[in-house]
Amino acid sequence: MKTKVLLVIVALSVSVCAWAQRGVRIAYVDMEYILENVEEYQQASDQLEAKAQKWKLQIEQKQAVIDQMKKDLQAEKVLLTDELVAERQEEIQIKEKELIDYQQDRFGPNGDLVLQKQMLIRPIQDQVFAEVQKLGTNKKYDFIFDKSADVVMLYSQKRHDISDQVLRAISRTRKLAKPKGKKTDQNRIDRLNAEAAEDEMTDAMKERSDRAKQAQDAKAKTAEERRAQQLKLREERKKAYEERRKKLLEEREAKRKAKLEEREKAKKDNEKEDSDDSKESTGN
């Protein structure tokens, strides 16, 4: 434990030196405090505690049976043969082993109680971790510790505690529990629930605003697409008109050239005929 504390102090010292220019932002959360204020965890924890009490009662009953078997054997031992005594002792040993196995199955390191508690805590821990990551990124924290973990916090100012901020984020999807303590705690939980409700309203208003903006953008996009389509049709019509006009001009020019060529040919033919007629007249 001392080694862990020393490592934390060294890490903080190095970090302070490295980031002295801009200042180190540190915060912490209290996982136990958060879990105690999540109704889902409290209800499941109560159910798990009821199971644990039932298992303990079963263990006590099994132990009572074994104790009674030992007493009976001790009282009847003088009347039994060595073989019967050995059989009774073996039966007691089997019962004791079964009891030890049952205790391990229920309360051992990998027993039902530990596993079910882990299954109960893990979803909330994952959500807390996700919210802590968001807070750390958005508010630019350099370190966020868990007060209930192995790291020993000898002193911490309350202003560094962001547990309520995490609870507020969690309360959007999980109902907060009514504390068993003072009225001020209830007021705090009510405030967190109210803030979460306000956040939901804000989120709903933001969602409606986003939808309205999306609809407006879609409408503007549709209008823009319609204008673009109209411009495209206009350009296509203009292009088609220009092509028709060009074709007509080419046809007209071709006809004009054909007529000119025809006239030139006719003129040459006439000149040739006149020349031939003149030669004939001279010959005569």
Contact 177, 37 (CB under 8 A): yes
Q: Report pLDDT for 106.
A: 93
pLDDT digits (tens, 9 = 90+) for 1-53: 445 544 444 455 545 454 445 578 888 888 888 888 888 888 888 889 999 99
pLDDT over threshold 90, residue 64:
yes
**The amino acid at 138:** N
How large is the angle between the packed helices 39-76 and 82-107, nearest 10 degrees? 170
The whole-angstrom distance between residue 267's C-alpha and the CA centroid of its chain comes to 94
Single-letter amino acid code for the residue at 73: L
Tell me the average pLDDT across 203-222. 68
pLDDT confidence tier of residue 280, bands split at 50, 70 and 90: low
- pLDDT(205) > 70: no
Phi, psi angle pair for 146, to nearest 5°: -105, 115
What is the overall mean pLDDT for the chain? 77
- Work out the average pLDDT over 68-77: 93
CB-based contact 28:156 (threshold 8 Å): yes
Tokens representing 198 are 């306000």
Neighbours of 126 (CB within 10 A): 10
CA 236 centroid distance within chain: 49
Nearest to 143 by CA among 27, 31, 30, 29: 27
Average pLDDT over residues 41-70: 92
Angle of CA points 23, 27, 31, to nearest 5°: 165
- Per the listing, tokens 């302070």 go with 16
Number of Cβ within 10 Å of residue 107's Cβ equals: 15
Say what percent of the chain tops pLDDT 70. 73
Instruction: Give me the pLDDT at residue 13, please.
Output: 53
162-201 confidence digits (pLDDT tens): 888 888 877 777 777 665 544 445 555 555 555 555 554 4
Whole-angstrom Cα distance, residue 129 to residue 126?
A: 5
At 87-143, the pLDDT tens digits run 999 999 999 999 999 999 999 999 999 999 888 888 888 888 888 888 888 888 888
* Max CA separation in the chain (angstroms): 183
